[in-house]
Structure 1
């Protein structure tokens, strides 16, 4: 359902607020607050009503409610002084007083969606283009120590699929959030806002590897395709390409036989280097001090084994950046210089490697103070891989520091949609808060900061 007032469109199914052709970035609770006021515009909505509808009855301070009301007004061009659209009724509550027209959403539905069962995450609207989430594959090797290998295989499949511009691919951090859940894939598709889900398994034994995959229609739970790929470990990159190509081939009948235009190349010719890289990635995602140190050591080993491994340079430089941000280094000048050196090497070697450009470009911006160069590298990464959530997220911060607050906000919004269940969502929300703060939209900044704090509490 869409609600039209003045030159705004509030789309409940897509959870979007737009003004003309411009999307307005607002926090989830601010959106819910506005939606509740608009839907109940025929009456005065009390404070208790808002707490029940937006905060599920949780007690929040008067200042929190006031900041969210102010953020609603700011988003729709209103203010507490004017109260042109949202009127405060003394000692009673609030009422949305603008003239509103209702219309079906762009997806053709004219009836509100069924509310999600209690305890479930609300459904995200489907993107306008075909969409897929690749879940963590099962490790069937019988050795938990091989989990990193299965995860690395999946990350490379995600990367291969992400290069297809007409395909919307959920980021690894969000799809891997389901690793410990034995949930319904239909539910995962609904919560991630995708039409397709890919699940599978990896078995590695001696010099052989077997990858199986199943493609599921997330709306019906129907299996559209299942296949097994097997070969020597030396052929791992070719096997990954086969999986990606077969997935898209299975989706193609539903997508008017869209063409696959991919120019794949193996990231390294050294399988030992690749193994070190995958182990490093596994440690990097843990994020604690010891794991980051282990990740740096493994990326440095990968570089020693393959001096042309651009992604390994990028990840190593980012480890130095992460150590600096968290105050985990005693010699800041030396580590900053080494991180900047590795970042420069990453972007030099990885002109066509989105991961190397993303991590290396971000490290250049922060460690070498080269914001312009860092932004340029991240823009190139997005040109190569428009589905890379990390590039949108990290690029958002560089844009903030360069004073481009509106571009930064759009970058963070895109990252959050590509990875809606990301364990690091709080960092994206914090970026939104900083961008709005720099743009002097203090109510919106306060709202996003509260979202970030809530997400941090859930993450830790």
Structure 2
């Protein structure tokens, strides 16, 4: 499709300008990727007719072999175009096993009737657009040529492969094959710099360095590393400094076959290490641009000079945060605190060198919010005081770097989790993803936002991307089953939970989550089977103390479902006594959960055990702490609280008194009626969402 030849047209309140790849709406404009614009144009031209997937591929991909994931991504982004206006302008329906249909919203049809005919752009305007586009491309080419004006010796360039959807690439640590400070500098900083630059390329998924470096440390074969990371391509290299000469070799390896697909060398003056970084990075960018196709790659802006030690410290801090999370999930408090101390020292060292380093400020904000900074813990700050301290750190990061994706993500999550500004939160998430589409944290938190507002099929898509980009992290393993439950795919969620548990038997956080999953479904037999599996199969009858406590809880929950709630009441009461200390500053989390979220889970247990008044009281404490925890137990969810609890005036008042919660309930009801989540309509009828699987297929 030649977008330059497609005249502008309107979709209700949206003006679509295909030649400019732009959507104009009240209050702004949005630039789409070429393929997304082609899909939008094809569906709009169909005038309400169902467009089959094969027809869509023929029109937008030229009939080439395309993965379902590539089509799903484009369709998902077209759906988001509808939300640019305050009210939905159109609906994109999925016709299972057939294709898609774009249907104008009723509010937009009147406007569409008046402007149904396409309004062509005059020939002079079209010529000006083409001229401007040519000038822009020429300018970009000139920048790239100037940027790559170093001695590069590519030895092999294979022909570009056909468009098979996004490629997944993992950047591995480089080998330092000579002993010098400069060698160490480049061996540490170069892969991180390449990963940072590549992550902003369209058409490419770049695995998080926390996953790729961890797998590389296991000394696996290239094929096994590719399999573990889900990577199509591995990027590695070596650095040698000999006297005044720097020698760098970089290679791209086809992971499934373990064959070298491309390699390049750099030989340059050791006194200009930044030039070496830039030259190698540009060489890789240019090769991948050819591999991916020019139209799918955006030019990545030059970065500021970096400090190798800052790179190393930030990398170590991120890895320690992931390790700390694993130890927290396993209730290993001593190990978690030791890791937190190490992270704090790393960040202090970074901020001593660069007081306004945005990445360090965001990581510090993350730890402050979760009680991982000893100075905050010593002051016994409340949860809310911690959040305000955390937000101020994020604000500092944004003042330092307004386009820092991690800072934008942190602010979006604050708006979701504590400020309850739903639209502002989504705008910030989208901006962060536009800047860096390969940030797994953004995809993860955005998925939780989408679950909250009931757009569960989109949440599954974001969860897929988060796991693809960071497949080793235990934290990412939770987002997918949660999103699947939101859309009603319980069996698939159960399988993922079981797989994660079998790989991490000491994860008490995960065990509690699976317990709650079965408890809200009132499945006592599944709870007993889970208890037996954990105790007998995973621990051979001798579980650790934290795991043993979770087994007792499962058995108490199963007994409560059978009509004997006394043991579960005792567990709830013991937990409640501890929570009052946490809320006033001893610790903001319990086994990795925010303390208000634990109040939410206790209220669920009390409701199911037959104490609706007690449940409503605990529920009020959870909401007061800004907890909105389990999507399927919220209003209109499939497993909302028991009818007796919902009938309590205190429960009803919560969702009526706060305008933000009333708005959230309305968003969830709208999503339910549009088939985006599974749940219960106000008249009592159950509905199912149009499901997306963990592999991204609809």
Structure 2 length as normaliser, TM-score? 0.41
Does structure 2 conserve the Cα–Cα contact (< 8 Å) formed by 1:199 and 1:213? yes
Counterpart of 1:174? 211
| Max Rg structure | 2
SS of 1:132 mapped into structure 2: strand
Q: Which moved more, 1:158-167 or 1:242-251?
A: 242-251
In the TM superposition, what whole-angstrom CA distance separates every residue of 1:304-325 from its partner, at most 9, and x where no partner exists? 4334322221121122234379
Residue 262 (structure 2) pairs with residue 224 (structure 1): yes
Q: How does 1:10-25 map to 2 (within 5 A)?
A: none
Distance in 1 between residues matched to 2:450 and 2:442, nearest whole Å: 12
Counterpart of 1:249? 286
Question: Structure 1 or 2: larger helix share?
Answer: 2
Match of 1:401 among 452, 463, 468: 452
Distance in 1 between residues matched to 2:410 and 2:185, nearest whole Å: 20
CA drift of 1:230 comes to: 5.8
Distance in 1 between residues matched to 2:228 and 2:417, nearest whole Å: 34
Counterpart of 2:407? 356
CA drift of 1:224 comes to: 1.7
SS of 2:365 mapped into structure 1: helix
Q: Which moved more, 1:356-365 or 1:390-399?
A: 356-365
Q: 1:384 to 1:171 in 2, by over 3 A?
A: same
Does structure 1 conserve the Cα–Cα contact (< 8 Å) formed by 2:67 and 2:165? no
Match of 1:159 among 189, 196, 211: 196
Distance in 2 between residues matched to 1:151 and 1:332, nearest whole Å: 39
Counterpart of 2:303? 265
CA drift of 1:161 comes to: 0.8
Does structure 1 conserve the Cα–Cα contact (< 8 Å) formed by 2:180 and 2:241? no
Residue 346 (structure 2) pairs with residue 298 (structure 1): yes
Q: 1:291 to 1:202 in 2, by over 3 A?
A: farther
Counterpart of 1:376? 427
CA drift of 1:432 comes to: 2.7
Distance in 1 between residues matched to 2:186 and 2:320, nearest whole Å: 12
SS of 2:220 mapped into structure 1: coil
SS of 2:397 mapped into structure 1: helix
Counterpart of 1:40? none
CA drift of 1:203 comes to: 6.5
In the TM superposition, what whole-angstrom CA distance separates every residue of 1:166-218 from its partner, at most 9, and x where no partner exists? 33323323322432343332443455444432112356999998754222233
Does structure 2 conserve the Cα–Cα contact (< 8 Å) formed by 1:134 and 1:199? yes
Counterpart of 2:320? 283
Q: How does 1:90-105 map to 2 (within 5 A)?
A: none
Q: How does 1:102-121 map to 2 (within 5 A)?
A: none
Match of 1:347 among 395, 398, 402: 398
Distance in 1 between residues matched to 2:180 and 2:416, nearest whole Å: 40
Q: How does 1:314-333 map to 2 (within 5 A)?
A: 314-323=362-371, 329=377, 330-333=380-383
Q: Which runs of 5+ in 2 are unaligned?
A: 1-51, 55-65, 77-95, 98-162, 325-335, 509-698
Residue 501 (structure 2) pairs with residue 453 (structure 1): yes
Does structure 1 conserve the Cα–Cα contact (< 8 Å) formed by 2:200 and 2:298? no
Does structure 1 conserve the Cα–Cα contact (< 8 Å) formed by 2:337 and 2:372? no
In the TM superposition, what whole-angstrom CA distance separates every residue of 1:134-186 from its partner, at most 9, and x where no partner exists? 12223557699x98985554233212111111333233233224323433324
**Does 1 or 2 have the higher relative contact order (CA < 8 Å, sep 6+)?**
1
Q: 1:159 to 1:271 in 2, by over 3 A?
A: closer
Counterpart of 2:437? 386
Match of 1:427 among 471, 475, 479: 475
In the TM superposition, what whole-angstrom CA distance separates every residue of 1:108-159 from its partner, at most 9, and x where no partner exists? xxxxxxxxxxxxxxxxxx9514442212223557699x98985554233212
Does structure 2 conserve the Cα–Cα contact (< 8 Å) formed by 1:399 and 1:405? yes
SS of 1:222 mapped into structure 2: strand
Counterpart of 1:308? 356
Q: How does 1:9-158 map to 2 (within 5 A)?
A: 128-140=165-177, 150=187, 153-158=190-195
Counterpart of 1:415? 466
Superposed CA RMSD in Å reads: 4.6
Counterpart of 1:52? none
Distance in 2 between residues matched to 1:337 and 1:141, nearest whole Å: 47
CA drift of 1:225 comes to: 0.9
Does structure 1 conserve the Cα–Cα contact (< 8 Å) formed by 2:501 and 2:507? no
Does structure 2 conserve the Cα–Cα contact (< 8 Å) formed by 1:132 and 1:198? yes
CA drift of 1:411 comes to: 0.7
Matched pairs, number: 345
Does structure 2 conserve the Cα–Cα contact (< 8 Å) formed by 1:429 and 1:451? no
Distance in 1 between residues matched to 2:347 and 2:358, nearest whole Å: 11
Distance in 2 between residues matched to 1:188 and 1:159, nearest whole Å: 20
CA drift of 1:416 comes to: 1.7
SS of 1:457 mapped into structure 2: coil
Distance in 1 between residues matched to 2:242 and 2:418, nearest whole Å: 41
Q: 1:231 to 1:337 in 2, by over 3 A?
A: farther
Q: Which moved more, 1:247-256 or 1:170-179?
A: 247-256
Q: 1:297 to 1:148 in 2, by over 3 A?
A: farther
Distance in 1 between residues matched to 2:417 and 2:178, nearest whole Å: 40
